[in-house]
Structure 1
Amino acid sequence: MKEKLSFSLFYVGLLSAVIAMLLTAGAFRTSVSTQTQFDLKQQGAIISSAYALMHSPDELKNFATSSLRITLISPTGNVLFESDAKANKMGSHLSRIEVQSAIKNGEGSSYRESQTLETDVYYYAKLLSDGNVLRLAIRKATAYAMLSGVYPKLAILLVAILLFSLFMAHILSSRFVEPIRKLAENLDAVKFPEGDMVYKEFAPFVRELKRERDNTEREMARLKFERNRFHTLIEDMSEGMILLDAKNEVVLVNGVAREMFHTEGDFTGRNVRCFSQNAELIHAVETAAGGKKDDAEIQLFGKDIRVIASPVFVSGEVSGVIIILLDVTEKKNLSDLREKFTANVSHELKTPLTSIAGYAEMIETGIAKPEDISGFAARIHKESKRLLTLTNDIMKLSELDELSPNAIQLEKVNVSDVLREIVSALESLADKRRIQIALPAENFFILGDRNKLYEMFYNLISNAIRYNKDGGSVKVVYEKNAVIVEDSGMGIAEEHLPHIFERFYRADKSRSKETGGTGLGLAIVKHIAELHHAKVSVTSKLGEGSKFKILLNA
């Protein structure tokens, strides 16, 4: 802009200088013409005064010069004297304009081409007292000769004006552009430099620009807030989300979706096929891009993912696709677990019920001998107790399934007190098998639900007694934030260790039934530990005993 403005100002200066020079030259020409006529008239007056004293017309040659031509013409038009030619060879001059005007008015002048000299000439004629006409003439070239010294000076003046125009154009353009430059440099400033404006005409422009900037900043702030809120909303979703444009190119991917696909990096602007080549996913996307909602279930890195692809319509046309990814692995596993649990419960309940029904039927029908009735009754009682224990454990698991970690009542619990209560309750069972139980002397406090912690440690210590050898030992120790229950029992084979916390899983089924185990105790332990954000682990060697470790939030 500055360069263009400088050239514009320079061109204006150049045009002004040229016009001024032309006007000056024209004025000089007019002035020279007027001055020449005036000089001829003055010289004519002088020569006409001297003419009265002359004895012969030839004396006029004393007044003629190389630039001044003198002609004496008779009233009849004959040339009596000519300083630049031979008078007797010249024709009549009576028809000359200046001669006729002199005869008629006493004097006359004209400017025209001379037939004798063949050049433009200024003429002045004066009527003398004897009736003759004195005519003075000067060539145009001679009259304008004085300008030859003026034109170089005018040329120098023109060059000076051009240089001055360049300088002033630079100064003025810089001065004109400076406020705009300051304005551009202060677009992000709190206040525009309105007070520094050189031209007051800029003030309305600055105010309007400031108003527009303020509006833009408010709109940008609003859009940024909306973008951040949208980004936060998308990132906080528990579901994965992928947004595609009309070309099936990725516009947005949230963190959950990246985690599901185990991908990192920026996929923006890339086709969804670069994100995943899963056939079911691509088919769902293509169906949605055609304007119809579609869903599918795919496998991703061992997880079951439900894909819901929906078209995004703008003005009645599909402008993109939004993909929602739902991790249904836990739901599916829970469904499978419930089915398995139902089957196991049916199986576990069927065995004692069948036994009870069989013995009762034998007693009812009289098949049982009188001496066998007491034995049958004892077996019915034993199976009933087993059935009651199994029912209680099932009810406990059902209750735990309904709870979440935020639903339990937390209090400060001394684990040592809980363990002493448990040992007291199991004292008769331990004494019967001559099993020694060692508890730590120090106190150990945690935040938890006392009743559920009691149930968890009761199951661990009860199992340590039941699956121990006669005369064995059970030891409970504290290790930082962990409680360890260690026994000297039969141990667990390595292939069973990954499954012992599953419901109804028994490492030794015959031994479990003999001890009255239901196969749900360790499942209850694991469930209660998870409710307390704890981790339960086990190490064991066959024939050497087992060590269960509960890592708690102490």
Structure 2
Amino acid sequence: MTRRVFLSIMTAAGVSLLAAMLLILGMLQSAYTQRYRQQLRDEAAYAAAGLETGGTAFLAALPAGSGRITLIGADGTVLYDSIGTQDMENHSGRQEVQQALASGTGESSRYSATMGERTYNYALRLEDGRVLRVSAADFTLPEVLRSLAKPLLLIAVIVVLLSLFLALKLTRSIVRPINQLDPEHPDKAEIYPELSPLLDRLSSQSGQIDEQIRELRRKQQEFAAITENMQEGFLILDRDTNLLSYNTSALRLLGADDAVLGQSVLGLNSGSSFRDAVERSIAGEHYQRTMHHDGRYYQLIANPVHQEDGIIGAVLIILDVTEKDQRENQRREFTANVSHELKTPLTSISGFAEIIMSGLARPEDITHFATNIYAEAQRLITLVGDIIKLSQMDENSIPVEKEPVDLREIADFACERLSQAAAKKHITMAVHGSRETVSGVHQILEEMVLNLCDNAIKYNVEGGRVDITVSRDPRGAVFLSVADTGIGIPQSDRERVFERFYRVDKSHSKEIGGTGLGLSIVKHGAAYHGATLSLESELDKGTVITMTF
């Protein structure tokens, strides 16, 4: 800006100075020319008077600083010349000589080859018919400029320096209010009136920008709140695989400690599945694949981001599908187990019925066959009933309202109900603790305690012991624990004993009996009542299962 202002001032000053100089020089030339020529006329008259009295000797005695003096005869012959008369041509054809011979005086201005410059010539006719001419260098504009060269150069330097000084000062005076503007509060600035429209627009735009920034921050906070509360991992990449945005779930699922925005996302995970998802999505391909990492399964969903027929990046979603995969495996295993558990009694029932139907059974065996058919049918009914109970608890659709239930009463009932089964193995059963009430479904709680006690008897040793304890801690939590002195549960099986149809000792499952759903019913019943289960076991010493309400 300083340069523009300087050039503007310099141009204006230069044009003005040049115009003024030309005008002054023109006026000076006109005035000086008239005065100069008048002096030549006076010199001619003075020389003519001297010539009349003193002859040519007078002309020769004139000082050298005077103009050129020439005496010309009536026929144009040069009689005398202050420069010299040798080889001088006839001057009858000269304009000033012709005018003087005709009217008494004459003048002209022309280039003189003798003097080597442009001259002014004044001729005066004498009384005897001769012509006296005085010539001198003419006063021209180049001559004036040549004589004024140094002053003009000095003036030009002064104009340039003054223009630069004014430009700097003017620029600072213009820029200073602009530099002192507060972008956030432009309306409070002290400026010259010419900036008022600009400040009005800045103030309006500042308000709009502030509003847009607030809106962007609000949306950014909403986006961050949504993504940070997602269980799914979320990654946004540019087309160079550099990380633009992410949430903490993505780092957790990928097993990364930290991520740096602007660096390649491939540094977060070195697996081939993750690399394929990134590279294929950047290439414009929708990609979906399951990835295994640290014993868990993750589903990668990668989509390219298009803009104006070009790919500018990709979005990756990471889903933890471990539980889904486990549930699918459990579903397949459950289906296989149910099929097996149903097939076994049905095969027995079908076999006994076929023997009776074909008449091969002896009359004394029919009662035995009927007893077996009834037992297998009851086993089927129990199995179907347990499956229905599990389904109802899974769907939270048990058709009974919760009510206050006395756990000590249920414990006493279970002890009495299973006393005969315990007596067959000479197992001692005892109930300890106080009467504690919880909110729940009596039938389900009773089934849970019966299953725990039944398992404690089945997997106990001959002459062992089963203790049922009901208590409450100072914080108000109610406990019901069933402890046995049985064979215990191996460490590798403790996480799976609550699965449906899972048995620790599969070789003796037929001898022990049961549907294999007892502990699964306990687990789902506890979840239905908001209770937690804990298991402590030691091989050949026993097991303690505790429900905490």
**TM-score computed with the length of structure 2 as normaliser:** 0.71
Q: Which of 519, 524, 531 lines up with 1:522 in the alignment? A: 519
- Please give the per-residue CA displacement for 1:322-352, whole angstroms capped at 9, x wherever unaligned: 7766655444433332332233234444555
Structure 2 Cα separation of the partners of residues 248 and 515 of structure 1 = 60
Instruction: Name the counterpart of 2:411.
Output: 423
Structure 2 Cα separation of the partners of residues 133 and 497 of structure 1 = 150
Query: How far does residue 229 in structure 1 lie from its aligned partner after superposition?
Result: 6.9
Structure 2 Cα separation of the partners of residues 98 and 174 of structure 1 = 64
Instruction: Name the counterpart of 2:430.
Output: 436
2:160 aligned with 1:165: no
Q: Which of 152, 155, 159 lines up with 1:154 in the alignment? A: 152
2:43 aligned with 1:37: no
Q: How many residues align?
A: 535
Query: How far does residue 403 in structure 1 lie from its aligned partner after superposition?
Result: 3.5
The alpha-carbon distance between structure 1 residues 281 and 69, as it changes in their structure 2 partners (threshold 3 A), is closer
The alpha-carbon distance between structure 1 residues 444 and 111, as it changes in their structure 2 partners (threshold 3 A), is farther
Residues 482, 544 of structure 2: 8 Å contact kept: yes
Query: How far does residue 175 in structure 1 lie from its aligned partner after superposition?
Result: 4.6
Q: Which of 191, 196, 203 lines up with 1:196 in the alignment? A: 191
Residues 409, 448 of structure 1: 8 Å contact kept: no
Structure 2 Cα separation of the partners of residues 117 and 359 of structure 1 = 160
Residues 5, 173 of structure 1: 8 Å contact kept: yes
- Please give the per-residue CA displacement for 1:381-422, whole angstroms capped at 9, x wherever unaligned: 766665554333222111122249xx99998x98xx642232
- Please give the per-residue CA displacement for 1:3-36, whole angstroms capped at 9, x wherever unaligned: 4553454456456656665665566555543432
Structure 2 Cα separation of the partners of residues 311 and 153 of structure 1 = 77
Q: Which moved more, 1:390-399 or 1:146-155?
A: 146-155
Instruction: Name the counterpart of 2:383.
Output: 390
Instruction: Name the counterpart of 1:99.
Output: 97
The one-letter code matched in structure 1 to 2:151 is K
The alpha-carbon distance between structure 1 residues 317 and 178, as it changes in their structure 2 partners (threshold 3 A), is closer
Q: Which moved more, 1:509-518 or 1:470-479?
A: 509-518
Instruction: Name the counterpart of 1:493.
Output: 489
The alpha-carbon distance between structure 1 residues 310 and 63, as it changes in their structure 2 partners (threshold 3 A), is closer
Structure 2 Cα separation of the partners of residues 512 and 437 of structure 1 = 28
Query: How far does residue 318 in structure 1 lie from its aligned partner after superposition?
Result: 8.3
The alpha-carbon distance between structure 1 residues 537 and 57, as it changes in their structure 2 partners (threshold 3 A), is same
Residues 179, 198 of structure 1: 8 Å contact kept: no
Instruction: Name the counterpart of 1:473.
Output: 467
- Once the two structures are aligned, what percentage of the paired residues are identical? 31
The one-letter code matched in structure 1 to 2:94 is R
Q: Which moved more, 1:511-520 or 1:123-132?
A: 511-520
Other structure's SS at 1:435 match: strand
Residues 490, 545 of structure 1: 8 Å contact kept: yes
**TM-score computed with the length of structure 1 as normaliser:** 0.70
Other structure's SS at 2:535 match: strand
Query: How far does residue 502 in structure 1 lie from its aligned partner after superposition?
Result: 1.8
Structure 1 Cα separation of the partners of residues 8 and 313 of structure 2 = 52
2:66 aligned with 1:67: yes
Q: Which of 534, 539, 542 lines up with 1:542 in the alignment? A: 539
| Unaligned 5+ runs, structure 1 | none
The alpha-carbon distance between structure 1 residues 122 and 392, as it changes in their structure 2 partners (threshold 3 A), is same
| Unaligned 5+ runs, structure 2 | 423-427
Residues 415, 429 of structure 2: 8 Å contact kept: no
Residues 244, 250 of structure 1: 8 Å contact kept: yes
Structure 1 Cα separation of the partners of residues 201 and 129 of structure 2 = 87
Structure 2 Cα separation of the partners of residues 67 and 460 of structure 1 = 150
Q: Which of 259, 267, 271 lines up with 1:265 in the alignment? A: 259
Other structure's SS at 2:499 match: coil
2:494 aligned with 1:506: no
The one-letter code matched in structure 1 to 2:119 is V
Other structure's SS at 2:494 match: helix
Instruction: Name the counterpart of 1:342.
Output: 335
Q: How does 1:167-182 map to 2 (within 5 A)?
A: 167-175=165-173
Residues 241, 313 of structure 2: 8 Å contact kept: yes
